[in-house]
Amino acid sequence: MSKVFDTTLARRQFGPAAADYAASDVHARGESLALLVERLQPVVGGLALDVGTGAGHTALALAPCVAAVVALDVTPEMLVQTRRLAAGRGIDHLVTVSGDAGALPFAESTFDLVTCRLAHHHFPDQHRAFRECARILRPGGRLGFTDNVTVTDPPAAKWYNAYERLRDPSHHRVHALPDLQAMIEHAGLRIESSVVLAKEFEFHAWADRQRVSPARKMQLLTMMRALPRALEPLFAPRWVDGTLYFSLWEAVIVARKVVE
């Protein structure tokens, strides 16, 4: 059975950066995290799974609201960070599991909640990842999903993904919101809410989190100066005292498994 992701590439890319992701404000305290938990309305006593947990920020946010939460990732160093953060908060009902989104190691209809935050763009078989999430949800269970989104213009979307891939070789593809929604629905889930947020980045912090070389940083800056017009509202680039700041769009989607 083929995997959703090249786990060797993911481990090579994210293992050395695990501590940086544990400390990242965008991941630990981003606006999308609070909104996702609010819209999911976790039920006390429920069982939750966070797919592609990274340093565990979403799993940790869910933990106070559920009976138990499983944090799953392919990168061992990320799971070490998850356990460290959980211990620091006195959370003892969170467990970590090594695994990937294309072959979730759980039985059908196991979880009340499944989340996947800022990870889906790394999965080459993105349809299959959604089908796996739907499979392990109980009837009536909810998927809470967030990821970056791009514009609907195909050439501009291609540029966007090339830009992200230059920074992070494990990046596969970001989609426009309508395409994401269609993928979720095709997996057998019914969308209940969907919103897009803008989040701001300082270029060097964004690049350094992936250990981008000085030469590649120059390539990224050169590309940004030739940004396609269709992407100007999304990136909204601005230079302040010689430093680039820009925005990205992030979708927050909640969907329910409905058995007809």
With contact defined as beta carbons under 8 Å apart, do 32 and 145 qualify?
Answer: no
Q: Cα separation of 44 and 48, whole Å? A: 11
* pLDDT reported for residue 1: 36
Q: Is the pLDDT of residue 105 over 90?
A: yes
Residues 6+ apart with CB under 8 A from 75: 10, 11, 14, 15, 18, 54
With contact defined as beta carbons under 8 Å apart, do 50 and 144 qualify?
Answer: no
Q: Is the pLDDT of residue 18 over 50?
A: no
Is the pTM of the predicted complex or chain greater than 0.85? Answer: yes
Does 260 or 252 have the greater pLDDT score? 252
Instruction: Give the tens place of pLDDT for each residue, 140-154.
Output: 999 999 999 999 999
Residue-wise DSSP of 165-212: HHH-TT----EEHHHHHHHHHHTTEEEEEEEEEEEEEEHHHHHHTTT-
Least reliable range by pLDDT among 29-43, 47-61, 185-199: 29-43
Average pLDDT, the chain: 90
Does 7 or 49 have the greater pLDDT score? 49
Grade residue 22 by pLDDT with cuts at 50, 70 and 90. very low
Grade residue 42 by pLDDT with cuts at 50, 70 and 90. confident
Instruction: Give the tens place of pLDDT for each residue, 173-190.
Output: 999 999 999 999 999 999
Q: Cα separation of 71 and 78, whole Å? A: 10
| CATH superfamily, region 7-150+169-200+250-257 | Vaccinia Virus protein VP39 (3.40.50.150)
Q: Is the pLDDT of residue 45 over 90?
A: no
* pLDDT reported for residue 88: 93
| Cα torsion angle, 2, 120, 59, 188, sign | negative
| Cα torsion angle, 218, 221, 227, 231, sign | positive
Q: Is the pLDDT of residue 3 over 50?
A: no
CA 160 to chain centre: 17
